[in-house]
Amino acid sequence: MTTVRMPPPLPTRLRTQIPSGGLSPMLSRLAAERATGVLMREGGMLYLSDGQVMYAESPATPGLDVLLIARGALDEDGWREAVAQAGARRLVGRFLVDSGRISQGALELCHLGALYDAAYFVLGPSSAPARFRYGEPHWLGPVRPVPVTAVERETVRRRELLHGIWPDPAADEAPLVRADRPPGATVAPRQEAVLARIDGVSTATDISRVLGRPAFHTLVDVRRLAAAGFVTPRAAEPDPAGPAPGSPTPVPVEEFPLFTDPHITLLKRLRDALEAL
Amino acid sequence: MANTETALKEALASIEGATGVALVDYTSGMALGTMGGSKSFDLTVAAAGNTDVVRSKLRTMEHLGLKGQIEDILITLSDQYHLIRLISGRGGNGLFLYLVLDAKRANLAMARHQLKKIEEDLEV
């Protein structure tokens, strides 16, 4: 029997449904005015063109290059050359297809995968203000633009999916440790690959990069593994045994303070109002 | 390979009785492309729900120790057939095609054969 340490509730907004103003009121407004540029939020960046999402980037997710190379669709030299040749013209995607390095379909699928993956993290709950810089198309160029509403809908669906698998989000960001393998339990091959890389230091994001898989997919696997009792997030206190010799010193995880201040609701409303400006 | 839209369009146009088709990533349940469907039949909802079907079957096979690969899964309703075809190409890891057929007009054996051909075309 595994005991689950539930973290204190965090003062973030629970948005399992898209509020009338959209996941980010600013993003909805930019879509309505058909803006072109880059939206910068705490979790990463969304590139818009004519009010549609062209690409998304987040430090939490592997980029399109990592996914393409991991799938064997492209090699590193091919990617580097495409960026060197077409990066300045902001048409890297088209260059990859025109030069025969990759088919349009394979590029589209990987691009959509990377876009929705990063957008999930960009549109995650955040307490920092968002900024928008007009007029900067992404160097990848147009591959397959997606409407803002589709990105928001998918992001909300993904949140619900994760919540349905295992409601504790603690394993999403913390370094992961292996729990005692529950007797008789089996793990799918894709999850086995994730499990094999759990070393007490790596987070889900680190594992995605190593495996060349979208970060959200790793979160799904990690939550399934957590639900089955294979994995737990590492507690904030360093392990008494210490990290394995030779491995880098892990950065301690910040423990969230308990919020008991009754004014927190007022502050949250203020924040919402400011974000909606 | 064809681009995804062309491949899905071809599936809808060439397979007799096809009313909708989707290309789905089964870890996230996201439809990477859909074609057809209707107001009363939301393909993205069907895509997300059918990932559970695929996952359950894969799990059961593991428990049974079966080593074969799933080629396709067929679900028959009183008036529709739903055909799920797992994409096995080297990069297609984790994708499946989902095809909705009108039972009155469809030829199942033919549809299976054509869907296999479209999978080969996709070669993701």
Closest CB to A105 among B3, B28, B59 = B3
Q: Which chain A residue has its CA at the smallest distance from B58's CA? A: A188
Q: Selecting from 3.30.450.30, 1.20.120.1760, 3.40.50.2300, 3.30.1360.30, what CATH number does the domain B4-121 have?
A: 3.30.450.30
Q: What is the mean pLDDT of residues B72-97?
A: 85
CB atoms within 10 A of CB A114: 26
Q: What stretches of B2-112 adopt beta strand conformation (E)?
A: 18-25, 30-36, 72-76, 80-86, 95-102
* pTM (global) more than 0.90: no
ipTM over 0.95: no
A 20-79 → B contacts, CB under 8 A: 71-73
CB contact under 8 A, B32 and A186: no
Closest CB to A105 among B25, B30, B124 = B124
How long, in residues, is chain A?
A: 277
Q: In what order do the strands lie in the sheet with B30-36?
A: B30-36, B18-25, B95-102, B80-86, B72-76
Question: How far apart are the C-alpha atoms of A31 and A145, rounded to whole Å?
Answer: 12
Question: How far apart are the C-alpha atoms of A100 and A14, rounded to whole Å?
Answer: 45
Give the pLDDT confidence of B41-71 residue by residue, as tens digits. 889 889 889 999 998 998 888 888 888 888 9
In this structure, of A121-135, A182-196, A263-277, the range with the lowest mean pLDDT score is: A263-277
A245 or B23, which is more confident?
B23
